[in-house]
Every structure is written in C-alpha cells, then in structure tokens.
Amino acid sequence: MSETATAAAARASNVCIELRGAGKVYPSRRGEVVALQDVSLDIEDGEFVSLLGPSGCGKSTLLKCIAGLEDISNGDLLVRGERVDGPPLGLGMVFQRDLLLDWRTVLDNTLIMAEFQGLDRREQKPRAIALLERFGLGGFIDRHPWELSGGMRQRAAICRALLTEPNILLMDEPFGALDAMTRDDLNVELTRIWQTAKRTVLFVTHSIAEAIFLSDRVVVMTPGPGRVREVVRIELPRPRPLAVQGTPEFAAYVTYLRGLFAELGVARN
Amino acid sequence: MSGRGGTLLVLTALVLLWEFAVRGLGVQPILLPAPSRIIAEIVSSPWFWLRQSGDTLITTVAGFALAVVLGVSLAIGIVYSRLLERVIYTLLVALNSLPKVALAPLFVIWMGTGVEPKIAIAVMLAIFSIVVDMVLGLRSIDPDILAMAYVSRARPIAVLWKIRLPNALPTLFAGMKVGISFALVGAIVGEFVAGSDGLGTAILIAEGQFDTTRVFAALVMLGLMGTALFYALEFAEGLLLPWHPSHRARHGNSRG
C-alpha cells in the first residue's frame, strides 16, 4: 500500500497512532544498539493502551518517538496519518518524574502549558483551577511543589498535561515512583478522567496489574532488541472499581501475562 | 544565644582586646591605632568620610551593575552559541588568568582620570565570577524539563525566559556575591591609580602623611560598605528566591 493510501485508511478507520515496521537504532562506540525492532501497531482514537515490559524493552523509547523527542531509524510512524517530525499538535505527555518548577506555585505550574502554547493566561486560569480541584488539589493551588507529597506533585503534573485538552496523552511510568496506595488512587482517577473525555492514552508501565486495570489493550514488549511480543485485549467491563483486581477474570489476565514473561525468561513465576 | 547575638559578642570582645592591647602595651598610633582613635577620627569629620564612601560606593555599584548586565548577556550568548562559547569563554579564561589589577593603568591611559576607568576596572574584576556562575546555572537544567517544554511546543524564547533564567538565579546570586566584593576591589584599585576622590584616594593621601589612623578609618568604612553590599544581595536573594532550598527553612513553611 502506498503511503497516501495508508494515511487515507488511517483517517477512515480512526487510527490515531500507527507504527509500521518501526525501528530505533542508537549508534554507540561498540557498534549499534537496537532499541526497537520491527514494531507494528495501530492505536485507535479514544483507546487506552499500555506498553508493558521490563526495563530495556524500548517502551519509553517508543513513547519518545511518538512524542517527537526522537526520530525512528526505519519504518513508518504516523500520528493521525501524518509522519512524526517534532511534537505532534494536541499531544500531552506525563513523565516518570513530575518535572514541576520549584519557583512556581501549583497553579502557575499548571498554567505554564498555556504560556508555552501562546494562550491567554487569564482565560485559562479558571480551567486550571477547575482541573486542579478535580484532582483534589483545590486547597493547594498557591503552594509550591516542595510543599506537596509525591502523589500530589504527580497529580499537578497530570493537570499541567491536561490543561490544553490534548487528544493524545502519553504517560511514561507516571506512577512508578509512588507508593502502592497512592498509585491505586491515581489509577482510579485516571480511568475516571479518561472515561469523561475519551482521549487516546498510551501508558508505559512495568506493572502487570496496573496495565490490566487501566487498559483496553496491553502491548507486551520484550527486550534485546525491543519488540512487540503480543497484544492482549482486556475485556473487563468499565467502569472498573479497584475491587476488579480481586476477580478471577483479572487473575486470569495476570497469570497469562506473567506466563508470557516467564516464557521469555524475564520474570519467574 | 542567637547566632547574630553571638557574632556581635565575639566582635565586641575582639575590638576590646585590640583596644586594651594597644593601650596596655603602649603601641604607637602610627603602627596600630586603638579602635577608639579610629572611631574618633570618623566621628570628627563624618561628612568627609561619608562623601568619600559615597564616591567609592557609586563606582562599585555602577561597576557591579554593569558587570551583571554584561555578564548575564555574555552567559546567555555562551550557552546558546557554540561560536561564542569557544571565543568569549576562552578569552574570559585567558583574561582571568592575567593579574587584572596590572591592567588598571591601561584604563587610565584610555579613559582618563574620571569615574569611567574606575567603573571599567570594577567591571573587569567582577564580571568573571558572574559569567562563570551564570553559564553554570543556565546549563544545569534537568534535560527532562527541557523535553517537557519541547513536547509542549514551547518556543526557545519561552524556554529561556520561563525555565532557564529562573533556574539560573540561585547560581547567579552566588556569582554576584563573589562579584560584589571584586567590584569593590576594582573601585579601590581604580582610585589608587587614577583617583581624586573616594576611599582609595583617602588611603593614599593618609599613607603619604603617615596618618595610620586615617588609613584605618578608611578601612573601617570599606569593611562596613563591603559587608552591607553583601548582605543587601543576600536580602534580595531571600526576597527573589523564597523557593530555593537555602531559603525555605527561614520561611518556616518547609515540609519534606
């Protein structure tokens, strides 16, 4: 299929992010390091997809390529039918660390997104406050990041990414540094936010339970070189309460995914 | 006992020790005048000392302000341009390895004996630490924060203004605190080589008359001025950077 035909097909079928044989090679002193190899994947509009795998499987690299932070070395990477060359419009990203600016209050940290994108700060302010309130930070908008807990800081970082209402949200192990309880809490909030305004979410994690709980589909990735091993559709009904994690269906997904990794020798059962 | 009270106590004790040692041992005032004599000298002609101090202060502050403006601009140029980094940075390092005080007479030849050569010398002495620290501050930014700004489609000017500059302020202040003392040194050196006013000139004249008490009076004024300038900067830093870890404890609202 020619490229224009692919793009046309992408628009027709609501494919948001499209990878065709995408690879990423880093030059190094001892030759080339293959971070990603032959990744083919379609992510549809409004879909919640997790990239699951151990460290070194290229899942963060893949996210960076989609964000336009890095170029793929071969294959095709299209966002809304267009080849990625720099950060695509309408894309928000949440990083592993909150990356809040120490000299700005929580509100100003959120509003920096408006400043970056040349929007009127005063116009965006009520939206920012509403967003922060929704994430339980209403009483902390005038605080500085160093006055908040890790979970609150990451909530503020999510608000910053959501301020301009991106229709694609990339999340790179956003809750990896948080304790299990805060993490559960944020996972529930994230699904709630996602269900009210269905944006495409691509979520990187190395937690099997987190990936199953959040996603429509889980992309299982394996290291050396990073490639897609299998894509697992999660057929649990939504909305999913935390208690879904105790159901036999959930346990079956966990067992299946663990088995995949065990087979590959990256996790023992 | 608070820290400030302790400092004052130790200082008073040292001055008293000096006073009694000079009196008890009968040291000639031409070698080392007693503190009481020095204070009496300043009090006997307060306007003279205030005017001389004012002259030196203006030169110092003008030189320092110019050094900050030039230094920050140079640092931005160095951080954003490979060429400037190679040319200016190398030149600055070479200039700094020279005993800059030795260049002072050149400035007198070029600029005469007015206030200009003195300010120029103050700038020359103060600028190095400001540039070096500002470059460090502009560079030591978390690369992930830059990535966050890039993904958010921030323009380079916004990255400079909203991320790099505020991030560099703490190190800029560190450089300015070193620079302000150097600016004062520069002002005095300028007055030594081309002075008709200021504390540097007052020291030279008093030295010529073997009036050690007046030399010490000038030194006391210089010490007070240098200390005041340093703490003025520290005060400004506290106002501008309440978020920085070095100031959080003082504001009493720090948590984990």
Q: What are phi and psi of A26, to 5 degrees?
A: -100, 130
Among chain B residues, the shortest Cα distance to A164 is held by B152
A144-201, pLDDT tens digit by residue? 999 999 999 999 999 999 999 999 999 999 998 889 999 999 999 999 989 888 899 9
Q: Could you give the dihedral angle defined by the CA atoms of residues A60, A66, A70 and A71, in that order, rounded to the nearest 10 degrees? A: 130
Alpha-carbon distance of B90 to A249, in angstroms, equals 67
Helix-helix angle B198-208:B46-80, to 10 degrees: 130
**How far, in Å, are A54, B11, B56, B111 from residue A226 at the CA level?**
10, 67, 67, 67
Judged by a CB distance cut-off of 8 A, whether residue B256 touches chain A is yes
Sheet with A82-83, edge to edge strand ranges = A31-44, A15-28, A74-79, A82-83
Q: Which of A41, A30, A46, A40 is nearest to A216 (CA)?
A: A46
- From the list B147, B152, B253, the residue facing A116 with the nearest CB is B152
Confidence (pLDDT) at B66: 98
Mean pLDDT of chain B: 91
Query: Quick check: A103 and B243 CB within 8 A?
Result: yes
**Confidence band of A32 (pLDDT split at 50, 70, 90):** confident
- From the list A95, A115, A116, the residue facing B144 with the nearest CB is A95
Judged by a CB distance cut-off of 8 A, whether residue A128 touches chain B is no
Tell me which chain A residues have a C-beta less than 8 angstroms from the C-beta of B142. 99
Q: Are A103 and A117 in contact (CB under 8 A)?
A: no
B82-130, pLDDT tens digit by residue? 998 889 888 888 888 888 888 889 999 999 888 999 999 999 999 999 9
CA of A36, closest CA in chain B: separation in Å?
Answer: 20
Tell me which chain A residues have a C-beta less than 8 angstroms from the C-beta of B137. none
Tell me which chain B residues have a C-beta less than 8 angstroms from the C-beta of A97. 144
What pTM, to 2 d.p., does this model score? 0.85
More confident residue, B197 or A254: A254
The domain B53-238: what is its CATH number?
A: 1.10.3720.10
Alpha-carbon distance of A164 to A131, in angstroms, equals 11
Query: Quick check: B153 and A89 CB within 8 A?
Result: yes
Tell me which chain B residues have a C-beta less than 8 angstroms from the C-beta of A116. 149, 152-155, 158, 162
Mean pLDDT of chain A: 90
Reduced to 3 states, what is the DSSP secondary structure of residue A232? Answer: strand
- Whether A269 shows a pLDDT value over 50: the answer reads no
Percentage of chain B beyond pLDDT 90 is 76
Alpha-carbon distance of A161 to A114, in angstroms, equals 10
What value of ipTM does the predicted structure carry? 0.89
Report DSSP state, residue A90: T
**Confidence band of A126 (pLDDT split at 50, 70, 90):** very high
Evaluate the CA torsion angle B106, B111, B113, B115 in order and state its sign. negative
* Mean pLDDT within B176-201: 93
A-B Cβ pairs (cutoff 8 Å, strict): 62
- Whether B253 shows a pLDDT value over 60: the answer reads no
* Mean pLDDT within A22-48: 91
Confidence (pLDDT) at B2: 63
* Mean pLDDT within A256-265: 87
Tell me which chain A residues have a C-beta less than 8 angstroms from the C-beta of B162. 112, 115-116
- From the list A99, A102, A103, the residue facing B148 with the nearest CB is A99
Judged by a CB distance cut-off of 8 A, whether residue B144 touches chain A is yes
Percentage of chain B beyond pLDDT 70 is 96
A48-75, pLDDT tens digit by residue? 999 999 888 899 999 999 999 999 999 9
**How far, in Å, are A38, A127, A138, A181 from residue A135 at the CA level?**
38, 13, 8, 16
Q: Which domains does chain A have, with CATH numbers?
A: 45-68+86-263 (3.40.50.300)
B191-241, pLDDT tens digit by residue? 999 878 899 999 999 999 999 999 999 999 999 999 999 999 999 999 988
**Confidence band of B254 (pLDDT split at 50, 70, 90):** very low
Evaluate the CA torsion angle A258, A261, A262, A266 in order and state its sign. negative
**Confidence band of A268 (pLDDT split at 50, 70, 90):** very low
Query: Quick check: B166 and A101 CB within 8 A?
Result: yes
At CA B79, angle to CA B74 and CA B85, rounded to 5?
70
- From the list B151, B162, B166, the residue facing A68 with the nearest CB is B151
Q: Which of A20, A75, A19 is nearest to A49 (CA)?
A: A19
Query: Quick check: A117 and B153 CB within 8 A?
Result: yes
